[in-house]
Structure 1
């Protein structure tokens, strides 16, 4: 199968590319390398250095005519989205429209990487379901929600097949120590350099942490299933940032203290996802617990 992966040199995208190649698929990567790293990719991969929002993206997809396009290229920094919402919208909305244009011409299915940020806070800490109200607390979540709306309407306008995957907080090997989603990587970096762990707010805000390898499996499951649907990709288990820090320090057998800084604008207090629909339709369930995933990162497994 011929596929295109936008953002294929990124944290999640590069692991998806390798998984697709192991299946025997032909994977073509579109990545502007603004945050991606070509060193993550096998040398033989066909890489096109293009901004997702450029018209060249649509043209290339139309020429390649892949069966599936995995659209992971995005501006993912919550802080950046608040400081520069136009940049966020250009990447996440216009970039998605360019990919949709290419899919329309090529007749490709689109598998779109979205975020739990479309929901905003989980009221009462309850697991969020796909039908839960969409109240994004930061421009990042809003831009992803707008992109989702374009994708859903493209299905009605043009008959474009698509599956939307809303990720919880993804972590795992190769993640950069950048942004809230990278809090595990941030903690690991600080521990490795003997510095106190930086926590924004009181640390009692909670997140649903899902391993990158489970996210890759969800993308592959969406190749053949879930057309026209959106799915939550998470564990349904909430972990406070303080609790995460405790686990990391225990596994590292080291503690350098904690530095509490003011909370950040746009931060949700609580977020966890119900993935029952993904289990029922995609046949997907998270296989790697947070304890196991952290143990692997700290070399305990």
Structure 2
């Protein structure tokens, strides 16, 4: 298949590109390198340095590549940044998504055109949803501009795919972690904690350490995206372990593998962050045959070793 991966120089996107290339697909990457890195690029994939908000440039890339599949991972993926600068997040995550969809409508090829979209199970279900693990049927109640931008992205995709007769698959991820995650970024607590601990510095936990998140190892996420090439039509799927893990437990597990003996610093909660979440991924198992293979302890061990 001919596939375009947006955000393919980033943490998650680059692992997906690797999986696609290894499976024999022809892949082109679009990335503006604002958070991605050239070192993450697969040498067997074409690369276009472009911002997804630059609609004329995106259309030229699509016209040249004529993809059958678009895997759309390019985004500003920080809750904190979205609170600070919501307009930038809406521009990248909403208008950028509209740009990609418009180009797919005009220049996508084949009768099986499809978009695979990275959404956010960690933000869309809101603060402490009524059912945990949360399944895809729960109402969406995002409390941050980032979560709202992903909800709007999902709505755009449903509209475009219905109006223009192509298929879509939306992934609502838990907190994705693993090798290549930026330890100096604002998102990705495992890499941030590990990067600081490896330097002998003390990480900060925002709140009292009892906030919970669900997690997904990046290799497992890449496998889900590989399965999505041939399975799953017009569906939304959670991807995660289905278990709540507190910030303090993450700190302690990272510390074990980083050989760090210090105690965490604590700071006030940050706006836009939810208190509890875990995701029910049974639907992904049913439709894709997917299940997580990497338990959290092993995944953290591998992540810390990569830093």
TM-score band w.r.t. shorter chain: over 0.9
Q: What is the CA deviation profile of residues 102-127 of structure 1, one whole-angstrom value per residue up to 9, with x for unaligned ones?
A: 21121431000111111112335611
Contact 1:191 1:255 in 2 (8 A): no
Instruction: Tell me the residue number matched to 1:112.
Output: 117
Deviates more, 1:39-48 or 1:146-155: 39-48
Distance in 2, matches of 1:146 and 1:234, equals 22
Instruction: Tell me the residue number matched to 2:4.
Output: 4
Describe the shift of the 1:22–1:31 C-alpha distance in structure 2 as closer, same or farther (beyond 3 A): same
Distance in 1, matches of 2:224 and 2:187, equals 18
Give TM-score scaled by structure 2 length. 0.94
Contact 1:198 1:258 in 2 (8 A): yes
Distance in 2, matches of 1:259 and 1:94, equals 38
Instruction: Tell me the residue number matched to 2:263.
Output: 257
Q: Which runs of 4+ in 1 moved over 4 A?
A: none
* Aligned residues between the structures: 300
Distance in 2, matches of 1:266 and 1:67, equals 36
Instruction: Tell me the residue number matched to 2:298.
Output: 292
Q: What is the CA deviation profile of residues 147-198 of structure 1, one whole-angstrom value per residue up to 9, with x for unaligned ones?
A: 1001011122111211000100000011012556410011101111111121
Distance in 1, matches of 2:184 and 2:235, equals 30
Distance in 2, matches of 1:35 and 1:5, equals 15
Instruction: Tell me the residue number matched to 2:28.
Output: 28
For the aligned residues, what is the CA RMSD?
1.5
Which of 243, 252, 259 aligns to 2:249? It is 243
Contact 2:21 2:45 in 1 (8 A): no
Instruction: Tell me the residue number matched to 1:68.
Output: 69
Which of 115, 118, 128 aligns to 2:134? It is 128
Q: What is the CA deviation profile of residues 1-32 of structure 1, one whole-angstrom value per residue up to 9, with x for unaligned ones?
A: 21100000000111111111111111100001
Distance in 2, matches of 1:281 and 1:38, equals 34
Describe the shift of the 1:59–1:101 C-alpha distance in structure 2 as closer, same or farther (beyond 3 A): farther
Contact 1:31 1:51 in 2 (8 A): yes
- Asked if residue 166 in structure 1 is aligned to residue 172 in structure 2, the reply is yes
Instruction: List aligned pairs for 1:1-301, cutoff 5 A.
Output: 1-55=1-55, 56-105=57-106, 106-107=108-109, 108-116=113-121, 117-123=123-129, 126-178=132-184, 181-299=187-305
Distance in 1, matches of 2:212 and 2:184, equals 18
Distance in 2, matches of 1:198 and 1:84, equals 22
Helix, strand or coil at the partner of 1:246: helix
Runs of 5+ consecutive residues of structure 2 not aligned to the other structure: none
Distance in 2, matches of 1:162 and 1:103, equals 12
Distance in 2, matches of 1:218 and 1:43, equals 22
Describe the shift of the 1:124–1:150 C-alpha distance in structure 2 as closer, same or farther (beyond 3 A): closer
Describe the shift of the 1:180–1:126 C-alpha distance in structure 2 as closer, same or farther (beyond 3 A): farther
Helix, strand or coil at the partner of 1:189: helix
Distance in 2, matches of 1:193 and 1:92, equals 34
Give TM-score scaled by structure 1 length. 0.96
Deviates more, 1:13-22 or 1:53-62: 53-62
Distance in 2, matches of 1:4 and 1:232, equals 22
Contact 1:78 1:179 in 2 (8 A): no
